Structure 1
């Protein structure tokens, strides 16, 4: 449960059977409250009643007559059901492509309830500790070509903490299932018998081009969009298929291989004059768009020193960025080449 009221410093008395109050205690402590818990009706003493500003009755405590009678008229009461299942679980949260405002409400609630957060380099939502107060925050981010924490170790930590009874949030840039290895992490949780939930996020494949005024589909221009990983150069048979399919090609994580990818698409039939763009650091104050053609974009990127994180867009939809640049109050695109 997300606590949306400022309760910093509030004395909170959590009442309920042994073993059923832990989640409520953690949640109120994270919100800044002073928390005392009691596990029997007899433990609700006049001293505690006078101290408390709020009493939380968990599970069977809602029917503890003596406790309710002692609190009635003196303390505000909140009733909660006990957790339906073991606390230990994993929640994969898509953080979106680089702005805290793109995190979903469900994602915020998951962070508020987290005991542990494993966060990616691309999950730039600001102060994670503030979004998940009291949680252990572990940075498992990866740089291109350098994985300080291997994927197997990420999965081991995630499962280990969940099996210890903790709620683990795996905070991932973009959407967990779009080149985010979310499927592997779900499989690790399922294999260990850990409950797992996936909360989608705004994918950079769609959101970042949109931030630069490039719709990945546009009526009369493109009704097909293909998202590919740029981790490795594009094989000729795939490049031929993309050239024949037409529409929009979006390349994620492809800056290191932009030259061979562009060359393969040209060699396999895509016109060198096809509009193309790179959008760097989408949804951040440093966002920049480089717009050219399939033939000119690699040189433009080299001259301007463009680098990851960036999204590459190839197709006629890139021309829509010119419409975007003409909107009222807009800045010109930084580079057009």
Structure 2
């Protein structure tokens, strides 16, 4: 009931994120609770506080135990096809061998699965996979923003010397490099380096620091982002005066769509192999979906692979629906660069 006690009560009331977990047991050898243990309020259900039998000076030691399930260590990224070392001739031969004996089915999902299996089988035969080790900068254990900035400052001097060689340019470049080395060495370890930073660099240098996942609960965060997107995209978010108008326009659209479906049109014809080749993606491979098939695996499939892909496209077009695998995506939450607590969902489709 003293002034300090009332101050602590007021503090706990004003800051609900903090909780006091002491019991009424005395901590001092002569009685009295002098050592207080505060923890994050959300940890209270899994926390256990008790007095230890060990006597340190005239105070008893206390132990706080948290019964929590640890997150599993992040798994290494799955290996990918190393298309730079691909044997495209063997890859195309494997697809040609498969397609020459293949009898297409009427089931669109099975048709797509057969093509996916054939591409994966041919890739297994003709394309090696990358190592599953984590990718790092060559100097990853001490590479940071300050080192990166110093390297960027050196590049203009290097380019200038390359364009206008001179002894003065060499001296300036050497001075810039020497200054950068001093800065980066001081930034790596110095008298002001915290103990936690020192241990982080040490564990990273010894290869014991695993790369943490983008989010500790990927599935839950992906579902939350999907639900948030669906809620924001719902017509219920529209102003009340707009909703009746939208319903009226929707009915008119359905009438126009039904009329258009009944009319014959040049777009009703099937796709051709030339159209598939014109639409072929030849850009750099990006992260694939669950099937692991990248742009280059499709663009280098050869004539028989293109015909097999055309078969799936036209079957989907004729049936008026997509294979179910094409309507699924792996959602990966990626931290926003300028807003770290928030995540941006990246959808990787098959």
TM (normalized to structure 1)?
0.20
- Which structure is larger by alpha-carbon Rg, 1 or 2? 2
TM (normalized to structure 2)?
0.19
Greater relative contact order structure (CA < 8 Å, 6+ sep): 2
Which has more helix, going by share of residues? 2
Which has more strand, going by share of residues? 1
